[in-house]
Structure 1
Amino acid sequence: MSQVLQYGGEEPAAARKDAEKGAEHSQAADSRGSEWAVSFRRRVAGLISAGPIEERGVMPVSLEDRTATNYNSYFSIWACMNINLLPITFGLLGPSYGLGLRDCALVILFFCLLTAAIPAYLGTLGPKTGLRQMIQARFSFGRYLVSVPVILNLATLTGFCVIICVIGGQCLSAVAGGTLTPAVGIVIMGVLALLISFCGYNVLHQYERWAWIPALIAIIIATGCGGSGLREQAPTEAATAGGVLSFGMIIASYMIPYACLASDFTTYLNPKFSSVRLFLYGYAGLVVPSVLLMVLGAAIGGAITSIPEWEEGYGETQVGGVLAAMLSRAGGFGKFVVVVLSLTLLGNIAATMYSITLNFQILIPQLVVIPRYMFSIVVTAIVIPVSIKAATEFFASLENFIALIGYWSAAFVAVLIVEHNVFRKGRYDTYDHDSWNVASRLPLGVAALMASALSFALVIPSMSQIWFEGPIAMKAGDIGFEMAFAVTGFLYLPLRYLEKRFSGR
């Protein structure tokens, strides 16, 4: 263009020849570039098809593809997601509600036994239906209105990833003695989790199958080193109903959200296996490690103020600092154990990130053409900076986050359970694979969303949080998640009958 302007708009022969030669070179380069791009795409596609990376997204898994028989993986994946520092961190919150160790242990045991049944049960629907958890939700919330619980689920799962990255980053920082900041530790945790979740179902299951073993060993060593200090429990007042129920809400908020991703881990399992046995595998994987480690967390939390070294470590890097102080007598080996403890969190965050990638495609169906593993990169890019920000006031961020997730997830699972057992009469063949993405063949979702929303007329007065305490909660303690579950299930029955009558779906 510059040559044309220079010669008054008339293109000279020399310039034309140079332009033609440049065009030939450009076309050759474009051709080589195009060939290189095609070759690269073919190599990546070949690697994916022959390697461990799962390309399937949210599409239903057909019966002939549900051939996996490693049913004990339903135990190991939950065990690996819970044998780490996350339940210890939740247990640390117990003493803040004025509860002693005995009271914390009883609350943890009861609420874990009660609420773990929900994710363990919903996970048994995966092999029978071949549907991911939030795709199953379309058969009650509808094709479009399911976006509401999907958005809430994305926020919940991302929040858990943030918590895990912060805990892991703080542990790594505590080991380094300040030479490595929590922010750098958070980046390390995020990238490592990305590598596992990127590959998908098979690699995730293989990792979760074995990763809990070194995690368990590291936790036992930490407990052994700091065991004598656990007896130094700070004195507490008598337990109150409000303290018991509020801490119970914390336990429920830890456990119930697992139900929103339970079937994501079982859709490839052969449906011929007993649902009862599969439920027991999942229930054991959820309850046993969670109860033991939450009680350990409550014991640590009750002893922090009695041991100056622990209190100092807690003040510097919170959970990581306490663990480093507990293991300080072991010297360099103790630091190594703290590093292992931080890496134990990868089992949880990798599985959580895997489910997030699926939820992206459910939220925006047009994204189904993008391979699932690409969203792992997007999630990591979101989680890392949010985690760095949240790390500055970790426990305040944790309690504010927990304050919300238990309520909506309790309402959500109530709808799924009533829909399956009452309106579908427990029949798995009613989840038609040809209908999963067709709005006219799915319920409107008005009944599900309305029942969930209306339940908050009683949930809100039953909430007890730092920023709000309802009139019911003032007298009885936080019973918000119980109200959400019971009221939503009760309201969904008549509303769904009316929806079926008027819509025929």
Structure 2
Amino acid sequence: MNTSDSRTKGSKLIEHRSIDYIPEAERHGSLFSQFTLWLGANLQVTAVVVGALAVVLGGDVFWSLVGLLIGQVLGGAVMALHGAQGPQLGLPQMISSRVQFGVYGAIIPLALVCVMYVGFSAGGTVLAGQAIGQLLQVDNTTAILVFAALIVVLTVLGYRTIHVMGRVSSVVGVLAFLYLFASLLHGHDIGALLDNKRFTVGSFLLAMSLSASWQIAYGPYVADYSRYLPKSTSALKTFLAVGVGSVLGAQIAMVFGVFAAALAGDHFAGHEVSFIVGLGATGTVAALLYFTIALGKLTITTLNAYGSVMSVAAITTGFGGKRAISGRMRLCFVIVMVGLSTGLALAGHHAFLKEFSAFLLFLLAFFTPWSAINLVDYYCVTRERYDVPALFDPDGRYGRWNVQGIAVYVFGVLVQMPFLSTGFYTGSFAARLDGVDISWIVGLFAPGLVYYVVTRKARAAQRERANVIEVGLSEAEGS
């Protein structure tokens, strides 16, 4: 089917574009919506739990807060650099991997990212099901199915609706966390908590790693939600809108987690939803807190579902050389991906989900080198100049398999292994650091440097053919 004939302007409620290039005539949105989307996506219970881990695993309040903030800024910068690509490329994030890995080679990280999205969605669905079950007074199975139906609807509606969700969840989240902080800290001496300083290198690095990894995990899909912005949008302003929103939202939630873990101890760990709602006692306030928890998970799980659909579409079109998928196929992908995560949520008992979450954290090690390679290629090697039509042509300039890119990627994964620490696997060097995971630091710098060295000469020749790229962009605009 002719993709341009079957799609309407961005004013329609249901999104018709998929992985294809967004022409300038269909660009819309504002930087403020980028800020609110990522602020709202991070003001949620899972971020609270991540922050609490810094204390639960042995850190003190003061240095945990400092470590979380530093990791947040470092990881948020990586995440926001990906987000700034959206307006320039007008494409979903993972499509650009075809430049570094080849049209077929990009399927390697795409397949892994699909597994990660489904797994994270399953864990979020379990938490959301608990909140919805209490809110609607239904059993967990019914609550999970209700949540899944909402995810399907929101994902089908697509980009514009997702940004509306971001604005709503950011307002609700900020109000909820103001109340939660006031309730939690009422009657407690915050100064005394902050004065109890027990700095250890291991605990400090752990706090940094928790927040940095949280931010880096957004890298594979952050540009999906900025690709409709006008191409003239400032890259720096996009970087700041995305990064500040994400860092601020996550830090607020994680700071609450630190204080909750320090003050509540065993009453918080493992009972996060009930503890948070307990701060509102009963009645209307408790119901509103359940609603807030469900809304926060609804926002981030919709992002996961939408990102997974973009990735599956990128995989299937890679083999066929197509630039888009039909609306019917897009709906099928949504149902399949949401169905998989819902099935895991329904089947998973707590022990299973704990082990599966450890496996998912292990998978994050496969995306840090991807992030490094993608950013170095975009900003330092090709310098933001991609031939868009060639991204959809296995016989084009990027080829089927980019052996250099794939080899550097494999190196980037392997070099992290000694520094990796999860419930699924712990490397030898991480064991010497009492289980502190610093693999993300190695995974960012080592493959990024190697990729720059081995590809810059070849890419320099391609940059000189700028007229080909400009023609390609004109073709994409007309498609």
How would you bin the TM-score normalised by the shorter chain?
Answer: 0.7 to 0.9
Matched, 1:495 2:454: yes
Matched, 1:442 2:398: yes
Determine the C-alpha separation between the residues in 2 that align with 1:500 and 1:117.
25
Matched, 1:478 2:437: yes
Q: Is the 8 A contact 2:88 2:231 kept in 1?
A: yes
Cα pair distance change 1:466/1:46, threshold 3 Å: closer
Residue type of the alignment partner of 1:284: V
* CA deviations over 1:284-305 (Å, ceiling 9, x no partner): 1111111111110122123333
Matched, 1:369 2:328: no
Instruction: State the partner residue of 1:4.
Output: none
Question: 1:499, CA displacement in angstroms?
Answer: 6.7
Out of 142-151 and 263-272, give the one that drifted further.
263-272
Question: 1:501, CA displacement in angstroms?
Answer: 10
Instruction: State the partner residue of 1:111.
Output: 71
Equivalent of 1:278 in 216, 234, 238: 238
Matched, 1:411 2:364: no
Cα pair distance change 1:101/1:174, threshold 3 Å: farther
Determine the C-alpha separation between the residues in 1 that align with 2:431 and 2:73.
26
Please report the TM-score for the alignment, with normalisation by the length of structure 2: 0.84
Residue type of the alignment partner of 1:495: V
Equivalent of 1:64 in 10, 25, 30: 25
Instruction: State the partner residue of 1:121.
Output: 81
Q: Aligned runs of 1:290-309 on 2, under 5 Å?
A: 290-305=250-265
Matched, 1:462 2:419: yes
Question: 1:469, CA displacement in angstroms?
Answer: 2.9
Determine the C-alpha separation between the residues in 2 that align with 1:240 and 1:175.
42
Matched, 1:338 2:290: yes
What secondary structure sits across from 1:364 in the alignment?
helix
Structure with max Cα Rg: 1
What secondary structure sits across from 2:219 in the alignment?
helix
* CA deviations over 1:335-369 (Å, ceiling 9, x no partner): 33223322222121112211111111111115943
Instruction: State the partner residue of 2:131.
Output: 171
Question: 1:497, CA displacement in angstroms?
Answer: 5.0
Identity of aligned residues (%): 19
Q: Is the 8 A contact 1:99 1:236 kept in 2?
A: no
Q: Is the 8 A contact 2:94 2:221 kept in 1?
A: yes
Determine the C-alpha separation between the residues in 1 that align with 2:195 and 2:133.
31
Determine the C-alpha separation between the residues in 2 that align with 1:394 and 1:167.
14
Give the unaligned 5+ runs of structure 2: 1-5, 466-479
* CA deviations over 1:290-342 (Å, ceiling 9, x no partner): 11111101221233336xxx35xx65xx32121232222x4443233223322
Question: 1:101, CA displacement in angstroms?
Answer: 1.7
Q: Is the 8 A contact 2:362 2:424 kept in 1?
A: no
Q: Aligned runs of 1:223-302 on 2, under 5 Å?
A: 223-228=181-186, 238-302=198-262
Q: Is the 8 A contact 1:159 1:401 kept in 2?
A: no
Determine the C-alpha separation between the residues in 1 that align with 2:180 and 2:290.
8
Instruction: State the partner residue of 1:19.
Output: none
Q: Is the 8 A contact 1:145 1:445 kept in 2?
A: yes
Give the unaligned 5+ runs of structure 1: 1-44
Question: 1:121, CA displacement in angstroms?
Answer: 1.4
Residue type of the alignment partner of 1:475: R
Question: 1:204, CA displacement in angstroms?
Answer: 1.6
Question: 1:231, CA displacement in angstroms?
Answer: 6.1
Determine the C-alpha separation between the residues in 1 that align with 2:167 and 2:183.
27
Cα pair distance change 1:48/1:70, threshold 3 Å: closer
Determine the C-alpha separation between the residues in 1 that align with 2:53 and 2:77.
23
Q: Is the 8 A contact 2:87 2:228 kept in 1?
A: yes
Cα pair distance change 1:349/1:88, threshold 3 Å: same
Out of 477-486 and 45-54, give the one that drifted further.
45-54
Matched, 1:145 2:108: no
Question: 1:159, CA displacement in angstroms?
Answer: 2.1
Matched, 1:54 2:6: no
